[in-house]
Structures are given as structure tokens and as C-alpha cells.
Amino acid sequence: MSRLRWNHNIHYHRIVLEAIPDDAVSALDVGTGDGLLARDLAHKVPDVTAIDLDRDVVDSARAEFSGINFLIGDVMTYDFRRKFDVVGSVATLHHLANLPAALRHLAGLTAPGGVLVVVGLARPTRLSDFAMDAVGVIQHRWLSWRRGLWEHSAPTVWPLPHSYAQVRQAAAAELPGVAWRKLPLFRYALVWYKPER
């Protein structure tokens, strides 16, 4: 994992890495940004592709990390001509306007028997959301003081277009059997294993 840099997204790379099937040989990092998840995936999977719309961050990641197939493009329209054993997305889903279509498309890029893992940001609307975010504020202060907060260079989207409830509902509809978790540090996780058939 990316231990020399820390922020909320890097903190949860482990969720993607822990979900990788034992026999996985290929991975796609969706919205790679500075390439740190792609680098972490490359320690566990031999064939890693990473895609992002932003040319500057992709060029920077390509210069820093070798052995990864970095692509500049829109994951929703790019023709990969293949499927991947692992499709990972950290802090990217809220950049994609049509949430159900995005989840459906990422599921389509996942090979049978593979895994789709999304760590994302969403808008709090329920009391439980605000309570978890309050825990996140405390955790953020402690970890930022202890590890130092590294600011990524990738573009951001604000305000967040989807609520936690909307993400959970869309995931349940598009990814039958998906595991959902609300996380501290203002994140959620979706882990979905695609059936073999």
C-alpha cells in the first residue's frame, strides 16, 4: 500500500486490495488520478490498467510508476476490448453523472468470478450518516496529525451529486448481492463479486 503518502482515499486502498481473488491476474483502476491505487494493485496483480480523463495527472503517474498501462480516456466510453479480474474505483463514482449506468458499466468490465470494489464519497442525508461523519472528523484530525495529509493533484467534484442512500439503492439494484459499508473519513465501500455464470 501507499504508506509514504496518506489521505482519506489512500487510507482505504486496503479495501480494494483485500477483496482481490486469489487467482486474479488483471486489474483496472478507474479514475486513477495520481496512480497510487494502480501502483498498489501492481504489487498483487501482474497486469494493471489505469484510466483517467485528466491528461496531466495521468502523465505524472506514468512518469512515476512503470509497468502499468496508463490510459487517458473516459471509462464510460473507452473500448478496453477485455474484462478484468479486479475493477477498483476510489473517489471516482461521484464524477460519473448517471450512477446506475456507471455501476452497470463497471460491472460489465468485471470478468466472471472477478470483483468490483468502489470506495466513494456521498452526501449525508440521514442521522446515521451525520453521526458517522462526526466520527470521521475526529479520525481525520488524529490521522492527519499522525501521518500528515497529502493533497492529491486530481480534479475534484463538489458538491457531491449523490447521497449515501442513493448510492446504496443503486448498488442494490445494479449489483445483486453487493456488500455495502459506510466508513469513517466520509467514505463508503461497495464490494461485489461477479458470478462465474
Which residue, among 190, 197, 196, 195, has the nearest Cα to 19 in the 3D structure? 190
Q: Residue 100 is part of a domain; what is its CATH number?
A: 3.40.50.150
Q: What is the pLDDT of residues 67-86, one digit of tens each?
A: 999 999 999 999 999 999 99
From the centroid of its chain, how far is CA 53?
15
Write down the pTM of the prediction. 0.86
Taking a C-beta distance cutoff of 8 angstroms, is the pair 164, 188 a contact?
yes
Residue 196 carries which side chain, given as an amino acid letter?
E
Taking a C-beta distance cutoff of 8 angstroms, is the pair 105, 75 a contact?
yes
Which residue, among 61, 55, 54, 113, has the nearest Cα to 87 in the 3D structure? 113
Domain assignment present for 179: yes
Residue 119 carries which side chain, given as an amino acid letter?
V
Total number of domains in the chain: 1
H or E, element range at 48: strand 47-52
Domain assignment present for 182: yes
Residue 80, C-alpha cell as written in the block: 478496453
Domain assignment present for 102: yes
Q: What is the pLDDT of residues 77-131, one digit of tens each?
A: 999 999 999 999 998 888 788 999 999 999 999 999 999 999 998 887 777 877 7
Domain assignment present for 97: yes
Q: Is the peptide bond before 176 cis (omega within 30 degrees of 0)?
A: no
Q: Which long-range contacts (CB under 8 A, 24 or more apart) does 4-9 make?
A: 5/36, 5/150, 6/143, 6/147, 6/148, 6/149, 6/150, 7/149, 7/150, 7/151, 7/152, 8/91, 8/140, 8/185, 8/186, 8/187, 9/36, 9/37, 9/90, 9/91, 9/119, 9/152, 9/187
Domain assignment present for 55: yes
Domain assignment present for 74: yes
pLDDT average, residue stretch 171-194: 93
Domain assignment present for 128: no
Domain assignment present for 107: yes
Distances (CA, A) of 63 to 3, 34, 76, 196: 19, 10, 25, 37
Q: What is the pLDDT of residues 133-166, one digit of tens each?
A: 766 555 655 555 555 654 655 556 557 768 999 9
CA pair distance 117, 189, nearest whole angstrom: 7
How high is the pLDDT of residue 34? 87
Q: Which domain holds residue 170?
A: 8-123+153-193
Percent of the chain at pLDDT > 90 equals 62
